[in-house]
A and B are shown apart, each in its own frame.
Chain A
Amino acid sequence: MKIWQFVIKEVLYRKTSFLLTALCVAVAVGAFSCAAALLKINDTKAGSILAEKQKQTEKQMAILNDDMRKATLRLGFNLAILPKEQSIGDWYADDFGSTYMPYEYVDKLVNSGIISIRHLLPVLQQKITWPEYKRKIILVGTHGEVPNLHKNKKVPLVQPVETGQIVLGYELSQSLKLNVGDKVKLMQEEFTVSKCYTERGNKDDITAWIPLDKAQQMLNKTGKINAIIALQCLCVKGDLSVVRKEVTSALPDTKAIELSKEKVLARLETRTKAAHSARLTLENQKQTMLNLSKQREKFASTFVIIVICTTGLWIWFLAFSNVSQRKEEIGILNAIGFKSSQILLLFVSRAFLTGVLGGTIGLTAGIWFGKYFALKADIASANKLFGEYFDCKTAVITFILAVVLSLIASWLPAISACRQDPAEVLNKG
Chain B
Amino acid sequence: MLEIKNVSKTFDGPDGKVEALKDTNLSLKPGEFLAIHGPSGSGKSTLLLTAAGMLAPDKGKVFLEEQDFYSLSVNKRSIFRSKKIGFVFQQFCLVNYLSVAENIMSPSAALGCDNCPQRAKELMKKFNLEHRANHYPAQLSTGERQRVAMARAMFNNPAIIMADEPTGNLDEDNSKVLIDFLLDFKNKNGAVIIVTHDSRIVDFADRSIKLNEGMVL
Q: Which of B79-96 contact A (CB under 8 A)?
A: 79, 81-83, 87, 89-91, 93-96
At the interface, yes or no: B49 with Cβ under 8 Å from chain A? yes
Q: Which residue of A lies closest to B116 (CB)?
A: A1
Whether B75 and A341, one on each chain, are in contact in the complex, defined by CB atoms closer than 8 angstroms, is yes
Given A3-B109, A335-B81, A335-B87, A426-B102 contact (CB < 8 Å): no
A-B contacts counted at CB < 8 A amount to 101
Across the interface, which residues of A come within 8 angstroms of B45, CB to CB? 426-429
| Of the residues A3, A13, A328, A336, contact of B82 by C-beta under 8 Å | A336
The interface stretch among B23-31, B35-43, B184-192, B199-207 is: B35-43
Across the interface, which residues of B come within 8 angstroms of A329, CB to CB? 93, 95-96
Across the interface, which residues of A come within 8 angstroms of B81, CB to CB? 335, 337
Interface residues of A (CB under 8 A from B): 1-3, 5-6, 9-10, 12-14, 328-329, 331-342, 422-423, 426-429
Chain A CB within 10 A, most for which of B89, B111, B116: B89
Q: Nearest-CB distance from A261 to chain B (Å)? A: 96
Whether B49 and A423, one on each chain, are in contact in the complex, defined by CB atoms closer than 8 angstroms, is yes
**Do most interface residues of chain A lie in helix, strand or loop, or is the interface mixed?**
helix
Q: Roughly how many angstroms separate A338 CA and B82 CA in the complex, as a whole number?
A: 8
Whether A5 and B110, one on each chain, are in contact in the complex, defined by CB atoms closer than 8 angstroms, is no
Q: Nearest-CB distance from B62 to chain A (Å)? A: 13
Q: Which of B60-100 contact A (CB under 8 A)?
A: 74-75, 78-79, 81-83, 87, 89-91, 93-98
At the interface, yes or no: B105 with Cβ under 8 Å from chain A? yes
Q: List 15 A-B contacts (CB under 8 A).
A: A1-B116, A6-B98, A9-B102, A331-B93, A333-B110, A334-B78, A336-B87, A337-B79, A337-B81, A337-B83, A337-B156, A340-B74, A428-B91, A428-B164, A429-B164
At the interface, yes or no: B46 with Cβ under 8 Å from chain A? yes
Q: Roughly how many angstroms separate A423 CA and B43 CA in the complex, as a whole number?
A: 13
Besides the known contacts A1-B102, A5-B109, A338-B110, 18 further A-B residue pairs in the complex with CB atoms under 8 A apart: A9-B98, A10-B97, A332-B93, A335-B52, A336-B82, A336-B87, A337-B79, A339-B75, A342-B110, A423-B54, A426-B49, A426-B54, A426-B164, A428-B164, A428-B165, A429-B47, A429-B164, A429-B195
Q: Which residue of A lies closest to B109 (CB)?
A: A1
At the interface, yes or no: B108 with Cβ under 8 Å from chain A? yes
Across the interface, which residues of A come within 8 angstroms of B156, CB to CB? 337
Q: Roughly how many angstroms separate A166 CA and B47 CA in the complex, as a whole number?
A: 143
Across the interface, which residues of A come within 8 angstroms of B152, CB to CB? 336
Whether A328 and B105, one on each chain, are in contact in the complex, defined by CB atoms closer than 8 angstroms, is no
Whether B116 and A426, one on each chain, are in contact in the complex, defined by CB atoms closer than 8 angstroms, is no
| Of the residues B46, B55, B93, B111, contact of A337 by C-beta under 8 Å | B111
Whether A429 and B48, one on each chain, are in contact in the complex, defined by CB atoms closer than 8 angstroms, is yes
Q: Roughly how many angstroms separate A335 CA and B79 CA in the complex, as a whole number?
A: 10
Which 4 pairs from chain A and chain B are nearest by CB?
A337-B82, A429-B45, A13-B97, A337-B110
Q: Nearest-CB distance from A384 to chain B (Å)? A: 42
Q: Roughly how many angstroms separate A339 CA and B110 CA in the complex, as a whole number?
A: 7
Q: Which residue of B lies closest to A339 (CB)?
A: B75
At the interface, yes or no: B106 with Cβ under 8 Å from chain A? yes
Q: Which residue of A lies closest to B80 (CB)?
A: A337
Whether B49 and A6, one on each chain, are in contact in the complex, defined by CB atoms closer than 8 angstroms, is no
Across the interface, which residues of B come within 8 angstroms of A427, CB to CB? 45-46, 49, 55
Q: Which residue of B lies closest to A329 (CB)?
A: B95
Q: Roughly how many angstroms separate A12 CA and B195 CA in the complex, as a whole number?
A: 36
Q: Roughly how many angstroms separate A305 CA and B208 CA in the complex, as a whole number?
A: 64
Whether B96 and A5, one on each chain, are in contact in the complex, defined by CB atoms closer than 8 angstroms, is no
Whether B54 and A334, one on each chain, are in contact in the complex, defined by CB atoms closer than 8 angstroms, is yes
Whether B74 and A429, one on each chain, are in contact in the complex, defined by CB atoms closer than 8 angstroms, is no
Given A428-B164, A428-B165, A14-B97 contact (CB < 8 Å): yes
Across the interface, which residues of B come within 8 angstroms of A426, CB to CB? 45, 49, 54, 89, 93, 164
| Of the residues B42, B54, B93, B98, contact of A429 by C-beta under 8 Å | B42
Q: Which residue of B lies closest to A423 (CB)?
A: B55
Q: Roughly how many angstroms separate A2 CA and B106 CA in the complex, as a whole number?
A: 9
| Of the residues A9, A331, A429, contact of B40 by C-beta under 8 Å | A429
Q: Nearest-CB distance from A336 to chain B (Å)? A: 4
Across the interface, which residues of A come within 8 angstroms of B43, CB to CB? 429
Chain B CB within 10 A, most for which of A3, A332, A335, A429: A429
At the interface, yes or no: B107 with Cβ under 8 Å from chain A? yes
Across the interface, which residues of A come within 8 angstroms of B55, CB to CB? 423, 427
Whether B49 and A336, one on each chain, are in contact in the complex, defined by CB atoms closer than 8 angstroms, is no
Q: Which of B105-137 contact A (CB under 8 A)?
A: 105-111, 116
Chain A CB within 10 A, most for which of B52, B54, B107: B54
Across the interface, which residues of B come within 8 angstroms of A333, CB to CB? 95, 106, 110
Q: Roughly how many angstroms separate A1 CA and B98 CA in the complex, as a whole number?
A: 11
At the interface, yes or no: B147 with Cβ under 8 Å from chain A? no
Given A335-B87, A339-B75, A12-B97 contact (CB < 8 Å): yes
Q: Nearest-CB distance from A390 to chain B (Å)? A: 38
Q: Roughly how many angstroms separate A3 CA and B93 CA in the complex, as a whole number?
A: 18
Q: Nearest-CB distance from A192 to chain B (Å)? A: 128
Q: Nearest-CB distance from B108 to chain A (Å)? A: 5
| Of the residues A332, A341, A429, contact of B95 by C-beta under 8 Å | A332
Q: Roughly how many angstroms separate A334 CA and B107 CA in the complex, as a whole number?
A: 10
Across the interface, which residues of A come within 8 angstroms of B44, CB to CB? 429
Whether A1 and B106, one on each chain, are in contact in the complex, defined by CB atoms closer than 8 angstroms, is yes
Q: Roughly how many angstroms separate A334 CA and B109 CA in the complex, as a whole number?
A: 11
Q: Roughly how many angstroms separate A3 CA and B116 CA in the complex, as a whole number?
A: 14
Q: Nearest-CB distance from A16 to chain B (Å)? A: 13
Q: Roughly how many angstroms separate A9 CA and B49 CA in the complex, as a whole number?
A: 29
Q: Roughly how many angstroms separate A380 CA and B129 CA in the complex, as a whole number?
A: 65
Q: Nearest-CB distance from A270 to chain B (Å)? A: 85
Given A426-B49, A429-B41, A338-B96 contact (CB < 8 Å): no
Q: Nearest-CB distance from A399 to chain B (Å)? A: 28
Q: Roughly how many angstroms separate A126 CA and B7 CA in the complex, as a whole number?
A: 137
| Of the residues B52, B109, B195, contact of A6 by C-beta under 8 Å | B109
